[in-house]
Chain A
Amino acid sequence: MPNIISRRDLDFLLYEMLDAESLTQKPLYAEHSREVFDQIMETAEKLGENVFQPIAALTDREEPVFNNGRTILPEETKEALDAYVEAGFPAMSFPEDLGGLQLPYLISQGVGATMGAANGNVSGYMMLTGAAARLIIAHGSDEQIARFATPMIEGRWFGTMCLSEPQAGSSLADIRTKAERREDGTYKITGNKMWISGGEHDLSENIVHMVLAKVPGGPAGVKGISLYIVPKFIPDADGNPGERNDVVLAGLNHKMGNRATVNTVLNFGDKGGATGWLVGEEGMGLAAMFHMMNEARIAVGLGAASTAYTGYLHALAYAKDRKQGRALDDKNPENPMVPIIEHADVKRMLLQQKAYAEGAVALCLTGARMIDDEKTAEDEAEKAHLNLLLELLTPVMKSWPSEFGPRANDQAIQVHGGYGYTRDYPVERLYRDNRLNPIHEGTKGIQGLDLLGRKVVMKEGAAMKALDAEIRKTLDEASGLEAVAAHADTLKAYWEKLAATTMQMAGQAAKAGPKAYLANATIYLDAFGHVVVAWIWLRQAIVAARAMEAGTGEQNFYRGKLQACRYFFAYELPSVTPMLELLATLDTTCMEMDEAWF
């Protein structure tokens, strides 16, 4: 695929590392086969190549326009989404009895990586729609599923997530949108929502807003939050979009990147109240939302990873083509200039991108496989183990690609020199697009608090033990393989140091208090993320080393994996050491900095 994502690498991850084929042994996925997966990936690849990527520059340039309560988007956005719907992608990971194709989540994420790399801003609408439908399926009534989720599974209606408000972004407990129960059992919704992606457009027949709101007089904080379905058009008796609901587009946000996904300010109830239907029970809104967060957060991480990936491939192609300078030991100015890929420093920048992008995609697909394993686990202990792993790794899968993906995009610009800084090349756009990812779906800071404040300490460190077991499995696999044995020793040392530091921090927490314990949670998240990604790189390297031993041809592909692993262990992993040293002391420099001293 032309600089979108490497299908060879996706196949490596899906089949050689994560053994997607074995999922077809499970009753849930028994209908499927490798051939079906391949064909689906093929269609995704073609759609990405012929429809999504070619319009990426245009959908960035032609930012959505606000016109009299409506959003005007370039026609190409709708054409691309129509093609996506027509190909049947919206239904891919839903259960068969709901009209879905019941594909493994892992395969749907292979598709997601492809679309994300081709033009994640346009495919973003479908990600939101899938999440909205999943939320209704998990917590809604059968009637709500039939009425609202089914048209989204079919791709006819799109969905949104309405959590944020102007005064409540990270602090969802402080939302103010009101939900008042009416006689007929529906609720009257009034309030203002901010930052709503896909909040108003003519791309679909209807828009299903999933809205967090509070019933007046209910408990303060998160316990007072409920979840409502608030459609743009209220479905009539036949289920078709009917009367216009009182949801008004108040304005658009003008963003740095991610422009094809229109971002809106929505007013609910300007004209007397929007009609909403309660999903599940009152007070359970945020819990319901978070239940769905694992998958949504992996999808955000994968979006960041694939945006990094396409930037890397663009930089790689550019570096092979651009001639500049000569070898350092070549003193003859008559000799022709060399392609910049021959310079060690340019190779360093490319390896860095390869290590980040491939590492991040591998991380998120590993998570996707865990979701499938959790869904299909036959014994409870196995299910609980996977659940713990996912709880622990979700903030990492969301944050690590979001942090290091944009850094890869930054290096893609650098490889392009001055040209990378212009709009004639896609790399500056990819950087702008990717810069969103550490902000939405829980900022990086919030993810750090989640990891250190909740996940590593939950159930007396049970999640850490679960990850320990997984890492030890990998270390055992590596022990007999000469090509990776040294990396295994290194990972073991770092993992043990990370675990020890975590214990040290926890040991001081009671005395120092939560503020000091959590003051450097973001740094902990970075250190933790690097160790986890080192583990993911070792897993890739083990597969590559075995394939090389088996002499399966394609030596270059596998050597590339081994070299990127070596790069990660030599250039990246050591950055964890000073972080852990700082963390172990519960350093309070930042916490104690007084506002007045700035």
Chain B
Amino acid sequence: MKVLVPVKRVIDYNVKVRVKPDQSDVDLANVKMSMNPFDEIAVEEAVRLKEAGTAEEVIAVTIGPEKAQDQLRQALAMGADRAILIETTETVEPLSVAKLLAKVCEEESPQLVVMGKQAIDDDCNQTGQMLAALMGWPQGTFASAVTKEGDKLHVTREIDGGLQTVALNLPAVVTTDLRLNEPRYASLPNIMKAKKKPLDKKSPSDYGVEITARLKTLKVTEPPKREAGIKVGSVADLVEKLKNEAGVL
């Protein structure tokens, strides 16, 4: 089986995000960028499927600037076989990404797409679901375990209050949660080998997909500072405040 793994270049999780002075966006100048952590988990899962003999080929794909090649190289160093860069400097929204990925799916016919449940930059949590809908494929989101049983893929999902296991027909889309696995380090010999693995460069127009943003950002601001808490005198006080001030009861 062929596995497609979309990965995204995002601001590194260690970086303290700052807003640009003109409030147009967050400031990405000279900021460390990395592979979205959920996508690292997706790459790891795909590589494990390959190592287990379940998958034959793992293809990493990204939509982003030329520098997003770094993240593809990382995926290749972790064990992906080849990579596709769909190059654009535009901000691409989940629907555009899903449409592009759908085109890649049509071209590559993977049996499985494993991707992060969300990217830590805009936290959308939409792309996997949209892709499944566009392709008409089943989806197993927030996966904490993935096994192939016969011709079905069993996906254990993290849901409110517990775990749910679904059996999916293939081809399917799986989105990864944090506990699915612990991604490996790209080892030095594999970093060297990755250099020689094929990396195709495309553009959104190659796929005939229009990526113009549909959302307009009016303003980006820092989250408000947390105010100090207060001490309440009694349980009755607390209930009263929850009812009348917080409006949560």
Contacts of A43 in B (CB 8 A): 185-188, 191
**A33–B29 alpha-carbon span in the complex (Å):** 23
Q: Is B189 an interface residue (CB 8 A)?
A: yes
Given known contacts A1-B14, A47-B185, A87-B185, A40 and B191 CB-to-CB distance under 8 angstroms:
yes
Q: Is A42 in contact with B195, judged by CB distance below 8 angstroms?
A: no
Q: Is A38 an interface residue (CB 8 A)?
A: yes
Residue from A36, A47, A86 within 8 A of B191 (CB atoms)? A36
Total B residues in contact with A, Cβ cutoff 8 Å: 19
Q: Is B185 in contact with A35, judged by CB distance below 8 angstroms?
A: no
Q: Is B127 an interface residue (CB 8 A)?
A: no
Given known contacts A7-B32, A35-B73, A88 and B195 CB-to-CB distance under 8 angstroms:
no
Given known contacts A39-B73, A46-B185, A83-B185, A553 and B29 CB-to-CB distance under 8 angstroms:
yes
Contacts of B74 in A (CB 8 A): 39, 42
Contacts of A554 in B (CB 8 A): 29-30
Closest Cβ–Cβ distance, residue B240 to chain A (whole Å): 32
Contacts of A309 in B (CB 8 A): none
Given known contacts A36-B195, A553-B29, A91 and B70 CB-to-CB distance under 8 angstroms:
no
Q: Is A431 an interface residue (CB 8 A)?
A: no
Name the residue of chain B whose CB is nearest to the CB of A33.
B195
- Chain A binding surface, main DSSP class: helix
Given known contacts A2-B14, A33-B195, A553-B30, A88 and B188 CB-to-CB distance under 8 angstroms:
yes
Q: Is A573 an interface residue (CB 8 A)?
A: no
Contacts of A2 in B (CB 8 A): 14
**A42–B185 alpha-carbon span in the complex (Å):** 9
Q: Is B185 in contact with A40, judged by CB distance below 8 angstroms?
A: no
Q: Is B195 in contact with A35, judged by CB distance below 8 angstroms?
A: yes
Closest Cβ–Cβ distance, residue A343 to chain B (whole Å): 23
Q: Is B17 an interface residue (CB 8 A)?
A: no
Contacts of B14 in A (CB 8 A): 1-2
Name the residue of chain B whose CB is nearest to the CB of A554.
B30
Contacts of B69 in A (CB 8 A): 35
Q: Is A40 in contact with B188, judged by CB distance below 8 angstroms?
A: yes
**Binary B-proximity of A13-56 (CB < 8 A = 1, otherwise 0):** 00000000000000000010101101110110011000000000
Q: Is B70 in contact with A35, judged by CB distance below 8 angstroms?
A: yes
Which positions 114-134 of chain B face chain A at CB distance < 8 Å? none
Which positions 2-22 of chain B face chain A at CB distance < 8 Å? 14
**A2–B195 alpha-carbon span in the complex (Å):** 29
Contacts of B32 in A (CB 8 A): 7-8
Q: Is B192 in contact with A36, judged by CB distance below 8 angstroms?
A: yes
Residue from B186, B190, B192 within 8 A of A42 (CB atoms)? B186
Which positions 66-96 of chain A face chain B at CB distance < 8 Å? 83, 86-89, 91-92
Contacts of A553 in B (CB 8 A): 29-30
Q: Is A31 in contact with B186, judged by CB distance below 8 angstroms?
A: no
Q: Is B188 in contact with A91, judged by CB distance below 8 angstroms?
A: yes
Closest Cβ–Cβ distance, residue B25 to chain A (whole Å): 15
Name the residue of chain B whose CB is nearest to the CB of A103.
B188
Q: Is A101 an interface residue (CB 8 A)?
A: yes
Q: Is A87 in contact with B30, judged by CB distance below 8 angstroms?
A: no
Q: Is B77 an interface residue (CB 8 A)?
A: yes
Q: A40-B188, A88-B187, A554-B30 are in contact. List 12 more A-B contacts (CB 8 A).
A: A31-B192, A39-B70, A39-B73, A39-B77, A40-B191, A43-B186, A43-B191, A46-B185, A91-B188, A101-B188, A101-B189, A101-B192
The 15 sampled A-B contact pairs (Cβ below 8 Å) are A31-B192, A35-B69, A35-B195, A36-B192, A39-B73, A39-B191, A39-B194, A43-B187, A43-B191, A87-B185, A88-B190, A89-B188, A101-B188, A553-B30, A554-B30
10 closest cross-chain pairs (CB), A and B: A88-B188, A88-B187, A39-B191, A87-B187, A554-B30, A43-B185, A88-B189, A553-B29, A87-B185, A43-B186
